[in-house]
Amino acid sequence: MHIAILTFDGYNELDSLIALGILNRVREPGWRVSIAGPTPRLRSMNGVTIDAMIDLDEACTADAVIVGSGTKTREVVENPAITSTLSRLDPTRQLLAAQCSGALVLAKLGHLTDIPACTDLTTKPWVIAAGVEILNQPFFARGNLATAGGCLASTYLATWTIARLHTLEAAKEAIHYVAPVGEKDEYVTRALTNVTPYLAMDQLGVL
C-alpha cells in the first residue's frame, strides 16, 4: 500500500509530518508513505525545508492521497499545472483525504460536490465560497473521501487511513504508540470516537 501526502510550499508541518509519522508506525511489507510535492524541495510556513520523496504524478497513482494544508493553498488551486496533474485523482479507485486547507483543493477538483467537509477556521470561508457545506467537527468521511479540520485532527486522518488500508487494530496501535504516556487510552478512545462512525462493519471487524 502506498500513501502519498501532498505537500506544497508554505506547508503546515503539523499537517503533513504528524500524519507521516503516525502512518509510518505500520510495519507491514509493502507499506509505504511518501511526501509528494510539485518541486523537489519544499519550504514550510515556518521555514522548515524538506525534500519531496515523489512527484505529483506518482502521487496520483497511490492507494491513498492526503492533501496537506498550508499558507499558499489558494495559489495551489490557481496553478494550472498542479490542478491538471491532480485532476487524475479518483475516489473510485483510491482514498482521498484532506487536512484543513487541503479541503479547498478537493473542492476545486470537484470531489466535494454534495459532500460536507471539515476544515480549519481560516480556510472555512474559502471552502464555503467553493460551494461546500462546512461541519463544526474535526473529522468527516463518506465512502473514500475524508476531511479533517484543525492541525491535530491529522491524527484522525491517519487513523482512518490505516483502518481503511490495513486494520482498525493497526490504527489503534499506531495512535497508542504516539500518544502521551499516561494518556494513551484516552487518545485512542478519542480517535476511535471520531473515526469509527465512518467505517464499514468489515473494517470494524464485525461480520
pTM for the structure as a whole: 0.94
Q: 53 vs 3, 37, 49, 155, 191, CA distance in Å?
A: 12, 8, 13, 21, 28
Closest CA to 2 of 82, 66, 52: 66
Q: What is the pLDDT along the chain (207 residues), one digit of tens a residue?
A: 999 999 999 999 998 999 999 999 999 999 999 999 999 999 999 999 999 999 999 999 999 999 999 999 999 999 999 999 999 999 999 999 999 999 999 999 999 999 999 999 999 999 999 999 999 999 999 999 999 999 999 999 999 999 999 999 999 999 999 999 999 999 999 999 999 999 975 566 543
